[in-house]
Copies of this chain bind each other. A is one copy, B any other.
């Protein structure tokens, strides 16, 4: 196999420091497993704004296109809060999604046994929780036209955004969800607001047809987005795979993450369609943000970033064995009682970013 091209984009806040712990793991991969990467690194978000006046350069997007996988940190910095809508740091991730066609955002929400008490929910409600949210991520209201703010003749303003979904867009993300479910508990819940929105009505129809045609072995249910938010609180373990649009996915996946009580533990993947040469565009990132309040203090939890690397090994390079080894090492280290500040609880040993990273590699 030719060199595996990896683009690393640490971004802002705690991004760079948690990414340093990933380097320990890639060093281990090379040393002990003979797995090497052709790595390049670049700036995005506030870091890129400071250096180049734009949250992401065309050049970086091009590099991302050519890479086999992108490992992303996090973007966002209060310093840039007042920059215009066309310069906000978030554009880095939005543009990467759109330009690379990264249409399927996979957001696992998993409760580690050792951390079951970190949740604000009762342990008996969340123990063993393991949900995979498949969120459409290049369509819907995030990218639809017309959009903008206009001034009306009477001086008032009007803000407009458009939710658009086509059969094709719904089908391809639906397919990812059904395929995922087959490797998990074989059940998909499709979420929309078909009782209010025609785009949701089409969503429901297309998923229903796809299921009947190609995935009738998978259990399919439908749920309204408002009810889904309730059910995630009431009894989250009823879900296996949830498939939904960009905007509901944004809100529901964050909600599901918080059920675990430990955002610093959760990775994500965003995948595109396979090219004719077999390559699949893919980006991996922790679900937590740049956490500017704790940046540079050496106390951030590197686990979500390290587990994002595990997802990368699994989905982009088919290195299932190594992905599982890393995931098991994380569980083992938690079992020994090491905790970063965000997941600290009584009687455990509080450690910094680097000690946690080292411990995981030692465990490996």
Interchain CB contact under 8 A, A230 and B250: no
Bound CA span A5–B203, Å: 42
Interchain CB contact under 8 A, A158 and B162: no
Q: Is A276 an interface residue (CB 8 A)?
A: no
Q: Which of A41-49, A140-148, A304-312, A321-329 lies at the interface?
A: A140-148
Q: How far is the CB of A233 from chain B (nearest CB, A)?
A: 4
Interchain CB contact under 8 A, A229 and B202: no
Q: Which residues of B contact A40 (CB under 8 A)?
A: none
Interchain CB contact under 8 A, B234 and A255: no
Q: Which of A62-70, A163-171, A182-190, A267-275 lies at the interface?
A: A163-171
Chain B's closest residue to A148 (CB) is B198
| With known contacts A120-B234, A234-B120, A161–B197 Cβ distance under 8 A | yes
- The one of B121, B252, B257 that contacts A120, using a Cβ cutoff of 8 Å: B121
How many copies the complex holds: the figure is 2
Interchain CB contact under 8 A, B233 and A203: no
Q: Is A3 an interface residue (CB 8 A)?
A: no
Interchain CB contact under 8 A, A251 and B248: yes
Bound CA span A124–B184, Å: 34
Q: Which residues of B contact A254 (CB under 8 A)?
A: 226-227, 229-230
Interchain CB contact under 8 A, A163 and B162: yes
Chain B's closest residue to A125 (CB) is B120
- What are 18 inter-chain pairs, A to B, with CB distance below 8 A? A85-B201, A120-B233, A121-B121, A144-B160, A147-B197, A148-B198, A158-B165, A159-B164, A159-B202, A160-B164, A161-B162, A193-B247, A226-B250, A229-B258, A230-B254, A233-B255, A234-B258, A248-B251
Residues of A within 8 A of B (CB): 85, 88, 90, 94, 120-122, 125, 141-142, 144, 147-149, 152, 156-168, 193, 195-203, 206, 225-227, 229-230, 232-235, 247-248, 250-255, 257-259, 261, 263
Top 7 closest pairs, chain A to chain B, by CB = A159-B202, A159-B199, A229-B255, A226-B254, A233-B258, A230-B258, A156-B167
Having A120-B233, A161-B199, A227-B254, one finds 4 other A-B pairs with CB under 8 Å, namely A85-B198, A149-B198, A162-B162, A229-B252
